Structure 1
Amino acid sequence: MTLKASNLTLARGGVPVLTGLSFVLEPRAALILRGPNGAGKTTLLRTIAGLQPAVEGEISGAADQIAYAGHADGLKAMLTVRENLMFWAQVFGRHDITPALDAYALHPLADRLAGTLSAGQKRRLGLSRLLVTGCPIWVLDEPTVSLDTDAVAMFAAAVRAHLAQGGSALMATHIDLGLEADVIDITPYRAMTTLRVGASDEAFL
């Protein structure tokens, strides 16, 4: 499935942050966002994921096909690792969590409560949720935060496998994952105006 963004203008707290941004993400491809902190990478990813509206422009080809991983790991602290994955699998009408446990070496932690995990273990569990969704498009905001070198390699391997199976990935990261990926620097698309255009995204801030 092809994800297409056309002439997007995006705002944070009602203030435009990006304007005139377009891109196409094809199946089996990865696109990496670059730009300084505060440039609008998170705003763009949240908009693509459907968590806030664009001010202008169009996003097509992504309805109900996106799995999003943001800064929060999206875990239920009082459920075990296994129970967390089973919960998310059932949300998406799926049942097999074994590939997710395998990909991030979570079998030894399967019966641990998520709330007792280290930051890196929580991140591995949070990212493993992508594998139980069945969604072809992954949208990822700094996915390697809290990961050690071995876990970064697990993540890169999971992305490669996803791409090989026909999926795609849009991510903001400063880490070289060793992936064949196009890079888009969002700096030239930063909006110059500070005029408020509405506050429809404030509930998500």
Structure 2
Amino acid sequence: MTLNTTPLQVENLAVARGGLAVLEGVSFSLSRGAALVLRGPNGCGKTTLLRTIAGLQPALSGHIGLEPDAMAYAGHSDGVKPALTVTENLRFWADIFGTSTIETALTQFNLVALKDRPAGTLSAGQKRRLGLARLLVTGRPMWILDEPTVSLDAASTAMFAEAVRAHLQGGGMALVATHIDLGLAEAQVLDLTPFRAKAPALDDFDEAFL
């Protein structure tokens, strides 16, 4: 399937966590068929940046040139419903996003043998595979991925990387925060360290809290 979409344009973006700026002046573009890997130390603002781009929280300033309804976000939570089976979970999301098939998702993430199992009985790695399989039923061109390989073994990580490559070859895009080398030859790398916001001066705090 070829996905038709405009590129992602991020211009001079500033994002905050807990009311304090963590990144400022972030600018990049991402075209069809391309991936961008975000790097930086823990706590530098990778998750905050991804959530802001996905439309889950407001930016302090700047511009995001792609609508949230073109994006699918996979965060730290697997987002599965434990009482539903693997198949029922995927069909639920397929209905939400208006897509018609879940077979590719079951196959690509090696879930066929587990399709009738309640999600609550799956191992941590199996739940993670199910959570990531949701990406394939969204039909959305922009995948925003926050440490997607957590709980995955080496074989499942390779399986996920292959799914990302197939998505890119179909004209999709991926924005990924990860410390793992996914082997994506197409991926650019953006180090967020230069964009870290300066700590506020002491005079900027309300003296009542000192």
* Of 182, 189, 193, the match for 1:187: 193
Measure the CA separation in 1 of the matches of 2:131 and 2:199.
Answer: 36
Measure the CA separation in 2 of the matches of 1:98 and 1:116.
Answer: 21
SS of the counterpart of 1:145? Answer: coil
Amino acid across the alignment from 1:20: G
Measure the CA separation in 2 of the matches of 1:138 and 1:63.
Answer: 11
1:151 aligns with 2:117: no
Amino acid across the alignment from 1:27: R
1:140 aligns with 2:145: yes
Which structure 1 residue ranges, 4+ long, deviate > 4 Å from structure 2? none
Specify the alignment match of 1:176 in structure 2.
Answer: 181
Amino acid across the alignment from 1:88: W
* Of 132, 135, 145, the match for 1:130: 135
| Alpha-carbon RMSD | 1.2
Amino acid across the alignment from 1:116: T
Measure the CA separation in 2 of the matches of 1:19 and 1:179.
Answer: 27
Measure the CA separation in 1 of the matches of 2:122 and 2:75.
Answer: 18
Instruction: Measure how far apart 1:95 and its partner are.
Output: 1.8
Of the two structures, which has the highest relative contact order with CA contacts closer than 8 Å and spacing of 6 or more?
1
* Of 58, 67, 72, the match for 1:67: 72
Amino acid across the alignment from 1:184: L
SS of the counterpart of 2:69? Answer: coil
Measure the CA separation in 1 of the matches of 2:31 and 2:9.
Answer: 8
Unaligned runs of at least 5 residues, structure 2: 1-5, 206-210
Between the aligned residues of both structures, percent identity stands at 64
Measure the CA separation in 2 of the matches of 1:147 and 1:62.
Answer: 30
Amino acid across the alignment from 1:54: A
TM-score by length of 1: 0.94
1:112 aligns with 2:104: no
Measure the CA separation in 2 of the matches of 1:52 and 1:27.
Answer: 25
Specify the alignment match of 1:32 in structure 2.
Answer: 37
Specify the alignment match of 1:51 in structure 2.
Answer: 56
TM-score by length of 2: 0.92
Amino acid across the alignment from 1:187: T
Measure the CA separation in 1 of the matches of 2:85 and 2:156.
Answer: 20
Instruction: Measure how far apart 1:94 and its partner are.
Output: 1.1
Measure the CA separation in 2 of the matches of 1:65 and 1:102.
Answer: 24
Measure the CA separation in 2 of the matches of 1:107 and 1:10.
Answer: 40
Measure the CA separation in 2 of the matches of 1:127 and 1:78.
Answer: 18
Instruction: Measure how far apart 1:193 and its partner are.
Output: 2.9
SS of the counterpart of 1:23? Answer: strand
Measure the CA separation in 1 of the matches of 2:74 and 2:53.
Answer: 12
Unaligned runs of at least 5 residues, structure 1: 198-205
Larger of the two Rg values belongs to structure: 2
SS of the counterpart of 1:129? Answer: helix
User: CA contact under 8 A between 1:3 and 1:62: conserved in structure 2?
Assistant: no
* Of 165, 168, 172, the match for 1:167: 172
